[in-house]
Structure 1
């Protein structure tokens, strides 16, 4: 009986804790370069096993399978790390935290690891299941692309500019291929056609004739995105040490975590300021101007990125590994959590709106035809 590919990937990924436990109990593993070398050898071995698995089955394999399957293994590494840092298990990651990546002991890194080990891992298994059954997985993969890019955009610079920047070991540079992989995956996915519902030209025209005031949900989303722009600019100024009195009050009365010397929250706010603000502005344009088909992809990427970012930010700002002085004050806890949850929910609602009713974003087609008729020509 043939074992489904997603179960093979699951079984291979479950070897990660055993590999970590073995490495942790090898007394020779005290040299930083040796840790990097063995880590890359393990990842190379996983890739070789995946290649042999697909060759043996004589199946034509989507090259993205190897990316998703390899990342699945590292997701279980991340989950093992998070569980150990929170005291649920022990004896797996001590060697790596000492001479590999010491910054992984921070609350932000722990929350990143939980996200990888649960959300990313679940996405990979679903994607691989759909991949080998001929079903579309493009939308799910774009969610991962956004989440993974945000992860590395904050993670790598945060280590360099934060308090761990003077204690970088060679193993840190294994993050470079993990930074590049989602960009390559995005390039591949953008070159593939979207799976679109069949919509008649009459319905497309009717939707695209409606002004913003005739679309209350879109009007609300525009208002919420404008609020997101304002918040992102404000928090960007806060981490840039804006001397205005209300910036000073905000950081000490609501989100002192923004001043945590680990560097991650500061970098995240700057990523929002320089990347999310322009993207939100473009998405607002897409809600106002009909026929912007790119909204269907970029809303997914943005939703994945903000969900990952806000999970890590909220979790780290209340986590016990964050020094007490940088945690959210108890009297403002639910206010701050609610505020940050909304920042994650709005992009998700926007992506859901675009994919549930995409007629407004489709290119106009001749009257009497549908978007599928146009493709056939």
Structure 2
């Protein structure tokens, strides 16, 4: 009897620490070219084992291989986080020295925890649902937002930060991990959206209400506006705005924004140039009935913000961040509160969109449900 696919992926992922420990114990493998070559060989071998695992299945979803392969790298990330925090040793020394030195930074440690716990659990749930014939589209979009946010901060942050002068060949293994989530996201967005059955009367009733008649939507709009203002402000801070307010904030509240690792600077620019326009579009969706795309983009955005804020908050306080760049003890709670709100607002938006989605559905003829319209 074959084990369930998610169990096979889980067991296969547990091989990652063993591979790392073996490579860390063999000096001849601890050079840039062998590290990259063996890394690609290991990932290729994992793919072959995955093909064998599902060889008895027909029409396997191509995203299975993405989620399963990434599950293996999640365990690599978790191993790194545990070693950097002193909980284990003897696994990552060689890779930090001649592979990706930036993985020892506080940001990368928090990123590795997120991958090794949140992404890994998501992958196992998605794979379980995939082979049970259940929809996993929403969970997939949550991961896609989180993974893309991770990569668009990590790669530029390494290049422009203090690790930019110490880039080895192994760093370029991030390129496929950068491209694949975009492909996966496009595939997920193109698939049919699951919609609850709602009557035409209910949809019409909800869509007649103005924003002032929907206090929850009004509050969410205000939260998103506040997040936009905060994103603009911190974008100005990392761009060295000479205003006294910016100077006071960066030195008395979030000195981590000036950490030379580069990750916080890139993240604030991502907020300014990418999150800000998307928040504007989401506010538009809260004001305009029939924007069914809100059900997808709210999830995608929530995944991205949760990942970035987890890394940012954690790195701001982590012991691997130099003391001068950590959040001052007397400003801890205001800073935490502001940053948690940035992640909470998109999460609350997702909850609102999916618990009462009638406002975002396309208008349909009276006497029908949205399910009837789909059939026609």
What TM-score comes out, normalization by structure 2 length? 0.99
Which structure 1 residue ranges, 5 or more long, are not aligned?
Answer: none
For the Cα contact (< 8 Å) 2:285–2:294, is it kept in 1? Answer: yes
How far off its partner does 1:60 sit?
Answer: 2.5
**Residue matched to 2:125:** 126
CA distance in 2, matches of 1:131, 1:223: 37
**Residue matched to 1:220:** 219
CA distance in 1, matches of 2:89, 2:347: 36
How far off its partner does 1:30 sit?
Answer: 2.6
**Residue matched to 2:113:** 114
**Residue matched to 1:205:** 204
How far off its partner does 1:339 sit?
Answer: 1.2
What SS is found at the alignment partner of 1:126? helix
How far off its partner does 1:38 sit?
Answer: 0.5
**Residue matched to 1:44:** 44
How far off its partner does 1:68 sit?
Answer: 0.2
CA distance in 2, matches of 1:306, 1:186: 16
CA distance in 2, matches of 1:166, 1:358: 49
**Residue matched to 1:10:** 10
What SS is found at the alignment partner of 1:140? helix
CA distance in 2, matches of 1:212, 1:334: 32
What SS is found at the alignment partner of 2:163? coil
**Residue matched to 1:54:** 54
**Residue matched to 1:301:** 300
How far off its partner does 1:283 sit?
Answer: 0.3
CA-to-aligned-CA distance 1:289-317 (integer Å, 9 cap, x gap): 00001101100010000000000000000
How far off its partner does 1:338 sit?
Answer: 1.3
CA distance in 1, matches of 2:136, 2:37: 34
How far off its partner does 1:44 sit?
Answer: 0.6
How far off its partner does 1:357 sit?
Answer: 0.8
What TM-score comes out, normalization by structure 1 length? 0.99
CA RMSD after TM alignment: 0.6
**Residue matched to 1:139:** 138
1:175-324 alignment runs, 5 A limit? 175-324=174-323
How far off its partner does 1:29 sit?
Answer: 1.6
Which structure 2 residue ranges, 5 or more long, are not aligned?
Answer: none
How far off its partner does 1:222 sit?
Answer: 0.3
How far off its partner does 1:282 sit?
Answer: 0.4
CA-to-aligned-CA distance 1:240-273 (integer Å, 9 cap, x gap): 0000001000000100000000000000000000
How far off its partner does 1:58 sit?
Answer: 3.1
CA distance in 2, matches of 1:21, 1:352: 42
CA distance in 1, matches of 2:364, 2:33: 59
CA-to-aligned-CA distance 1:335-377 (integer Å, 9 cap, x gap): 1111111110110000111011111000001110000000101
CA-to-aligned-CA distance 1:126-145 (integer Å, 9 cap, x gap): 00000000111000000000
CA-to-aligned-CA distance 1:73-130 (integer Å, 9 cap, x gap): 0000000000000000000000000000001110000000000000000000000000
**Residue matched to 1:335:** 334
How far off its partner does 1:27 sit?
Answer: 1.3
CA-to-aligned-CA distance 1:138-182 (integer Å, 9 cap, x gap): 000000000000000000000000001011001000000001111
CA-to-aligned-CA distance 1:206-241 (integer Å, 9 cap, x gap): 000000000000000000000010000000000000
Aligned residue pairs: how many? 376
What SS is found at the alignment partner of 2:134? coil
